[in-house]
Structure 1
Amino acid sequence: MDPALVLSRLAQPFMTELVPRLFVTPAPGTGLVEKSAVPVRRLVGPRGETRAVRDRDLRALGAKLVRQAVGGPGERPVRPDEDRAVADALARTLDALGEVEMSDVQAVALQADGFAQHLRSLVPDAARELSEEGALLHALLLEVTARHILEFFTSRSASVPRTLVEHSGFLAELCKRYERLEARVPSQGAADAAFEERFARDTAILHNRLTIFGIDLASAPDSWPLDSTYLGLRCEPGGGPQGSATPVPVSRALAGRSRILVRGVAGSGKTTLLQWLAVATAKGELPAQLAGLRGRVPFVLPVRRFGRENPPVPGEFLAVNGYPGADTQPPGWADRVLRQGRGLLLIDGVDEAPEPAREHLRHTLRDWTALYPGNVWLVTTRPSAVPDGWLAAEDFGEVQLAPMSRDEVHAFVERWHAAARQEPGADPAVLARYEQTLIDALRLTRDLGRLATNPLMCGLLCALHRHLRGYLPSGRKELYDAAMSMLLELRDRQRVVPDDGIALSRQPKIQLLQKLAHWMLINGKSEMDRDIAVDILQRHLPAVPAAARQGDAETIYRHLLNRTGLLREPTAGSVDFIHRTFQDYLAADAMVQQHDFGLLLDHSHLTEWEDVVRMAVSLSRPNEVAELLRGMVSRRPGLRTAHARHSKLLAAACLEHVSEIDPEVRQLVQRATQQMVNPAHPAGARALGWIGPIVLEMLPDPRTVSDDRAFILAVTASSVADDMAIDYLAGLRERERMDIRVQLANAWPRYDTARYAREIIAHLDEHGGLYFPVTDLDEARALAGLGGRAHLHVKGQLDPAQLAGILPVEPVRRLRVEPDHPASDEQWQASFPYVEPPIWRE
């Protein structure tokens, strides 16, 4: 392409006549001259209103520009079949004028190249499908148009100084710049495109493993293909009064958002979520709700790999993630991707940065988002690691990963066992039997069902169940004891690792690991310096002779790191536990052994001590539990009201973990919390329900409250992951208000299918168009037993013909299906001929 030839065709009279068509035509007698700066978007008309320039006008304008640029004698800058694509890309970019928040004065200050770059950042994928020549022509036309737009601003606004360079000088400089760019871009563009293709292919391979860290026994798969077995998570978007009535699929919560902080407890699937986003983006297999991520370049940045140092610059992103081809990326490639607004930044584990470094990381994120507009940013953290609204000033929204539902747990168990059946030497019949007995145990045993709330714990339960040949302990203490036995005694034996000369039984390992976990808890750390860990072991080795006689502290440290499966070195010079769950369990055990109940009481109001207190209660003797719980519900001078409330509710939650307790103490705790169970909005109601079945004993009689209160109670009770909630929800089933009936209907998948259908679904009035969920074939059969329903919401990927073979089709008048369901509307209509169109996809 000859830039000089193209520019010569874009004569100033032509551009001066064309560019004003982009802007509002003044009403008679008003004029456009104003005495102050004017937002650019006001000159165009914002999206969502009647636009001064409609889409077809923009396409016509873009086509006219391209025809002018390619017409006449001389070399043609692009192939004839690409004219329309360049024109459409130009129209899409110019359409972004309606989104420009800066004033005309600020736009002029950017000058033509800066203003054109700003427009490109608002529509980062506009020229993505163009050839190198087409992209170059698009950039040249956009910059020439930007120049004339700025001249238009200076001519219409008295407030803009006329300081722009002479037009001829601008064209000469632009011509020289694009001649240099043309000489450089083809090779650079080709190199970038080739590398991006390779990087996408490698990302889809390298991140396509779902891993449950620490459970790497010969009898248990530690990972399996992500793209075929990933289980979509649910989350609570936002929070506070505006939160959703029920958790929604994470893809729906992330839809349309470019900056978001994802909170989740240890093992809840935060890292796996980012892996899935990276793989799905790289393979171009994102669901419809996340169409805005298509074509982006995913950068996975684990904070644990740089959290102790300065955050990486873009050129170091691939090395930080351990990408083998990091050194082969074209110079400046990552920076170009980000400046074009084409990146998907997946920053995993803010909590894995040392606490003093987190504020520095927040400032870095602020700088990155300001320097690289147009990109999409997802950041994950454990809930207590950073305060609410930690990134609110940087325009980040927040979501909280929700506990897995009953159906999600069952799906996880099925997929885990499917992966196990693919292993060499596996017995499919035995594994099928284990799978079914575990699903039955999770459905019928309250303690197990309460523990299986996230992928980590589900994976642990699957591995334990297989190792114990179809048996599982039911209590929290027994479960963790079995897990420690599996990881500390059997792991090395089954993995057949080389002998390191150290032979420690389970108990000495636990005693030493407890010292490390206890130090981290007391000091509020999620990791420690390696030297501190060795020093702690050095001080405590004399008290553990079985370890002391086998080596010094450094030797024992290496043994614990390499052989227990519980420790790791996330960065050079630091050590942490593979999951916070195990750290908390060991720290709680240490505190109970040292009788540190006063320390537990003093910290029982802190969120980060919740699991430690619960576990300590499950490990303590009855008299110790009674003393601790009395203290938690008693008045303590100096304790803030909010902290006292938290401590009392935690005491109520702890009742679920004790095997023996003085009845008077139980009644004392229940009386202290009875009046506190009154959340004002759905988000608080769900958080209350997640405490567990004990909450049901604190709620008022559902038949005696107002409809507003009844709705909050429905949210609370239906968030309790236990079939005990059915009895309480039955007291709300006769309510007529729609939001209450919707809440009860949508809670069905969380509970025993047949019982919930019999006691709740059968009693819900259909009037007003209440939709009934159908999540699996068991629910379909239950609905068929009730004669069917007029309005159905089919969730998941159920086959329409199979459903029609179970459900009576004549009563069905309206259907909702998931947006990404593969069956067409015509297929649904053929299976359910009495349905009134349209088929709603939501």
Structure 2
Amino acid sequence: MDDAGITVAVLHGRLTPDHFPDSAVPAQRKLYDFCGGKDLTWAFIEAVADVCTPDDAPAQRQKIERVRPLWEAAQANPTPVGQEARGTGRELIEAKDRVIAAYQQIDRLRQAQADSDQARVRAEHLVTLLLSMLGQLFTKIGDLTQDRNRLLAELGPGAAALTAVEDRLREAKGHRASTQEALRRAEYERDEALRVADEARRVARRLQDELDRLRAGGNGPDDTLAAASEEPDGFDTAGIPAAPDPDEMFLDDYAAALRKAQTVLDTGSDALQAAEEQIAEASADLPPNPGNVIRGTMLSRTTPNNPLTSEESEFEDRYRAYLTQRHGELTIFGMDFGDRRHARWSLDQSYVSLEVTNAAPGPVDQVERVEQALAGRQRTVVMGDAGSGKTTLLQWLAINAARGSLPSLLEHLNGNVPFVLPLRSLVSSSSFPRPEGLLAAVGCPLAGAQPEGWARRVFENGRALVLVDGVDEIAPEQRPLAQRWLEDTLAAYPRGCYVVTTRSSAVPLHWLDGVGFRHLVLRPMSALDVESSIALWHVAARAEADEHERQALVSLERSVLDAVRQEQNLAALATTPLLCSMICALNRDRRGVLPREVMSLYEAALSMLLVRRDVERRIDAVEGIRIAQRESVQLLQTLAYWLLRNNRSETSAETAARLLQPALVAMPALSGRGDPRQVLQHLLIRSGLLREPAFGRLEFIHRAFQDYLGARAAVEAADFGLLGSSATQEQWENVIRMAIGHARPRERAELLSALVSRGDHEEPHREQLHRLAFSCLKYATELDPGVLELVRQRAPDRDR
């Protein structure tokens, strides 16, 4: 059972009547006796072997063969128990009883944690729904107030219609007070559920340590506690009214929904109380806290929030002003600008709300704005590719929470104290810091001015907004330590709000599920989001420009928007906030030439994503490997060209590693830097160009990057025959356009001439090939005039 990681409770659930001669599964308590040697039967031994090695007959036989001689010897010649042995036996029995009791307590704690997590999910749903209901109700109160004022002016006091509206207005205001009270209860129950679940997890960990001690170093069962993921029952989210008319129907439906919410809150409160009793019972006999958990105040239901002292209030004002100044600007790292001011712009004016979906795939992926996904939640992991907006989201949360200007969905965070924590800064010290050391760890110049005990009290009182950025930016061996630090911090300070960001490939999809985190993935921007991002970037740029440049920026904005709408490869590049901003900033810096130089944009994007962005942000060799830009491009070209030649958009990680092997052998500079799998993992996590659509599968973040790199590889290999013969296949058309951009003038002329000639001789494909040749001209920076005229003569009239 130890080898299989199976507890007695799990064993009991897997046993069937067929395992026993009397077709009856013994009670769980009897199984504990069997495991302790009391009344042990051969049928039970065979049953354990079957459960621990299902579908593995050889393993079962091997275990049975090891046990049978001991069993037969014990049955034939039981060893007499002497006086000394009796004393030892009593000690063994007592130790066995303690082990059994520990197992039982751990099972009960698992159930307590599951109940608490279910109560948390229920409360989070309620918080979100109640916030939505309040929004509807405020709208209705506003409408009724306008109706009352209009009727008062038209009909005067005492009119029947006016009285009816005033009655409904009083009823609506009564519902407002009740809803606000229910919202406070739901938020409190959510906080309590997190606290109770964390406490259950902490006590279970201590019990497991105690169990390991009792078993003298034996391998105990897996102590990982799985969080409950069931949807809350008893509350139909579709039952919330959507402000129907007439007003009376709205108020009746609203009252019914509010009563239902209050019933669910009562149910959750009872479940939490029961879970707390289980934890109290389990922890009663434990020795004092061993001290390996961050010490903090576990707030009870009656602990009031201590008011701020004048010194703390003054410091928080200074700290909030610092946060707004420090994180109120966005910067592009890894780009060359003639004017460095073009690399910075205001976050306030350029922030774009992004779409997210659940990290774990489901039958239907729920797509929502990130503000909606964060509403009412205290623990969230936001995952995304390079440049997808993770850090920007944390900056936006920090400065708006500091100023109290978050939108209504996130109003519960207004006034909280943000702690913006790049993990790469925290791991630079010998251990992860406690609350009082966080500001110093991230280099905040106000760290020395914070009042003694201030940070701890902020965490204890649930006012901390903990924004942990860049799990992918620390070494793989440090990520489990970061996870343990987070879990310990949550156990000590469960009432704050925690948001963690990481690139998707750096951690499992359910990395922090066990401590109540919801995992979200940022989606690529839609066409509408791209246009909004471009427009807002130019708004921010105009805000700090002089009058002359403000006029120029209007024209620049229009040129970028037109180019993104018309140019396929430019649209393919502008799928993340970072790349959108890069396009806008370079277009401004180079005075509007970029929409016509798509190849230059891709070259700039590769330089930024592959090396320079990490270097300028002081992220170095995170995966234990340092690869230069040229080397990274060469390796990525190898993957891209193989995918193109095999008409694939993705491949397995195993195949990709095999493809990199000969490339690495041919690159002396990478000798000893790591095996193909390590290099591939580095490219996946740090390059920003690869992603995992599913476990063990790899693809480029966008087909356009695959086309760009594949075309470059084809030109370097002089595979112009392959390019020409593939020109009638739709998936190769963009590759050929980019190959024209990569090729030298003579090669460019030969490929275009071949396309025209083939079109002249193949009537079924004539128009397609001539149109393709003409579309390649914008990628040709230099071209023989004769070939240029040849292509133009064949172009369809509408393309001239």
TM over 0.5: no
> Which bin holds the TM-score, normalised by the shorter protein?
0.3 to 0.5
TM-score (norm 1): 0.42
User: What is the TM-score normalised by the length of structure 2?
Assistant: 0.44
Bigger relative CO (Cα 8 Å, ≥ 6 apart): 2
**Higher helix fraction: Structure 1 or Structure 2?**
2
